[in-house]
Amino acid sequence: MSDLKGFRDTERVKNLIEKIENIYPGGELKFMEVCGTHTMAIAKFGLRRLMPAGLMLLSGPGCPVCVTPAAVIDAAIKISSEPNTVIVTFGDMMSVPGTDTNFEHMRAGGADVRVLYSVYDMLEMAAGEPNNNFVFISVGFETTTPGIALSILETRKRGLKNVYFIVANRLVVPALDALMRSGEVHIDGFLCPGHVSVIIGWEAYRPIAERYNVPCVVAGFEPVDILLAIHDIIARVVDGTGGVGNSYSRVVTGAGNPEAQRIMNEVFQIVEAEWRAIGVIPESGLELRDEYADLDAFKRFGIELLQVPDPPGCRCGDVMTGLIFPPQCKLFGKRCTPESPVGPCMVSSEGSCAAYYKYGEMNERG
């Protein structure tokens, strides 16, 4: 199959569903998809409804906007009030709630907040507006981090003195380790993210698979991709072998992209980091290395991150750790909607609550 039609082929999907039903051992199994794009795809194609009784697909902390702490949003909002300062971000950050407001409201009130498609656009703006300071809010997992690292290297190469970065990037594998260590929810297998795995490679999940004897299988984002991965996870559960699989071999390799990894390591160092509504996870975040510390927006503007409580009643943390399904939150679809979100899971196009709401998965199991 040379195009995506084959990965949405109805007969192939039916065949894979039959194979999954035939191999399913019965009882209850919980698989967690770690990527927000998987969450959206599973909801869009109605795959939860096709699963055998007892097989639950849980949404994990795979939405970068969702796990960005409110304290980071508050800090960026504070910086936006500085004179001659431009906040630059991607569109899905605009309505993420901080403690009291968001970027959409700040822009409506006169703050210079600009949406772009590429961080390199900011470098052009900065070169053309030397009297303004430009601050980019960098969120995301390993998928987007190499591009941010390259833009930081380019900032240094061009000698731009009015560009700064708020670094809130996160790493996936430490989050999986934290979920398994917590013991709060039993996870029988991980559906591992395709985009992230292009960078880090499928071998990156082996420590998790071996430490906890839990299958970790990388998947693409079409129905056939996802069903192949689910079948592989079930087979590994039945055999008791755990291990790592790759159902996205047309894109993902064992080693990933070494050059992208090298660039990330050149610019960033690994630190503990807070995940919104989840807490602090060791070795799960990134910050600029000392040689690039002058580009750190928090240091430039003298900002310290403060602890910010979750909105009352919001259960985004429980959704992102698989403890509940989105409709089990009392705010879901009532006080919390895409038009008036309370928590970040309803904001992002990759948020679990947004996926359930958009595609009508309104009951607890989806």
Task: Give the pLDDT score at 117.
Answer: 87
Task: Give CA–CA dist 96/332, Å, rounded.
Answer: 16
CATH code of the domain containing 284:
3.40.50.11740
155-205 pLDDT tens trace = 999 999 999 999 999 999 999 999 999 988 899 999 999 999 999 999 999
Kindly give, in sequence order, each residue whose CB lies less than 8 Å from that of residue 362, ignoring residues fewer than 6 positions away.
327, 333, 356
Kindly give, in sequence order, each residue whose CB lies less than 8 Å from that of residue 167, ignoring residues fewer than 6 positions away.
138, 148, 268, 286, 287, 288, 296
Task: Give CA–CA dist 89/31, Å, rounded.
Answer: 33
Host domain of residue 57: 1-366
Domain count, the chain: 1
Task: For tokens 């679809």, name the residue.
Answer: 333
Task: Give the pLDDT score at 50.
Answer: 94
* Average pLDDT by stretches of 10, the chain with 366 residues: 73 96 96 94 93 94 90 92 93 84 90 92 96 96 96 97 97 96 92 97 98 97 97 97 95 98 98 91 97 96 85 92 94 92 87 92 52
Check if the beta carbon of residue 79 is closer than 8 Å to that of residue 87: yes
